[in-house]
Amino acid sequence: MQIHTLPADIERTSMAIIAKELEERGIVLPEENAAVIRRVIHTTADFDYAQNLRFTAGAVGRAVHKLAEGGAVIITDTNMALAGVSKPSLKKLRAEAFCFMAEPEIEQKAKQEGTTRAAASMVYGAARWPEAVFAVGNAPTALLTLAEQIEDGLRPSLVIGVPVGFVNVVESKEKLFAVCEQYGVPAIAAFGRKGGSNVAAAVCNALLYTAADMLDPGKRGWQG
């Protein structure tokens, strides 16, 4: 057994294993979406994402273009997802990432309106950065709120819909994806029950790495 110790070498070998196993399964990834799918599989060790990740037409290309322009904003529904978003790539692209879930204003607004903090945080973020990338890995209510806002005229640069769980999860993803298709809003969603904050961060990172020309881990300052 070959032992790898350098971080960049470990990632490159992992990606090679993923490519080999995809080939063995007879799965050919669309080139535009391949980096996102491989990154999510790398994060989860779950090859189901090769099948359940769905993309609106041109979603990856449009999101990468937006990020590459510089100054983009990413809004997550959990601090866990926020923590997982690559800080070096954000810096290189002059981008910022935020999560408002712990803000006192959000808690108060959610109580007043009888909704969740996740939903309130999406409204809060959209009011300030209507062209942001919204990355939802936990809360179906956040996706449903974004769907409503898109129907009312919101046009984000991308919505990442990958909440995990059993209650309203499947339905919220399907609703969000259908609304995004209808209004031409780029979307990436993990259909079914699977997902999570780690998946939301992985999708963000695949897009950021692509936009910043940092897909190879050596370009991120890693050893190897």
Cα–Cα distance, 61 to 49 (Å, whole number): 19
pLDDT in the model for residue 60: 98
Structure token digits, residue 192: 């079914």
Evaluate whether residue 99 is within a structural domain: yes
Cα–Cα distances in angstroms (integers) from residue 139 to residues 53, 119, 155, in the given order: 17, 8, 20
Q: Which residue has the tokens 């980096």?
A: 35
Evaluate whether residue 160 is within a structural domain: yes
Least Cα distance to 49 among 203, 214, 224 occurs for: 203
Evaluate whether residue 25 is within a structural domain: no
Evaluate whether residue 179 is within a structural domain: yes
Evaluate whether residue 23 is within a structural domain: no
Evaluate whether residue 5 is within a structural domain: no
Least Cα distance to 97 among 216, 200, 214 occurs for: 200
Cα–Cα distance, 42 to 18 (Å, whole number): 7
* β 187-190/133-136 pair status: unpaired
Helix H or strand E encompassing 73: strand 73-76
Strand partners of residue 160: 135, 188
Task: Report the CATH number that the domain containing residue 85 is assigned in CATH.
Answer: 3.40.50.10230
Cα–Cα distance, 128 to 130 (Å, whole number): 6
Cα–Cα distance, 65 to 161 (Å, whole number): 20
Q: What is the pTM of this model?
A: 0.94
Looking at the structure of the chain, the number of domains it has is 1
pLDDT in the model for residue 7: 81
Evaluate whether residue 221 is within a structural domain: no
State which residues form the domain around 96: 51-216
Evaluate whether residue 152 is within a structural domain: yes
pLDDT tens, the chain, 224 aa long: 555 567 888 899 999 999 999 999 999 999 999 999 999 999 999 999 999 999 999 999 999 999 999 999 999 999 999 999 999 999 999 999 999 999 999 999 999 989 999 999 999 999 999 999 999 999 999 999 999 999 999 999 999 999 999 999 999 999 999 999 999 999 999 999 999 999 999 999 999 999 999 998 888 875 44
pLDDT in the model for residue 224: 44
Catalytic residues: 42
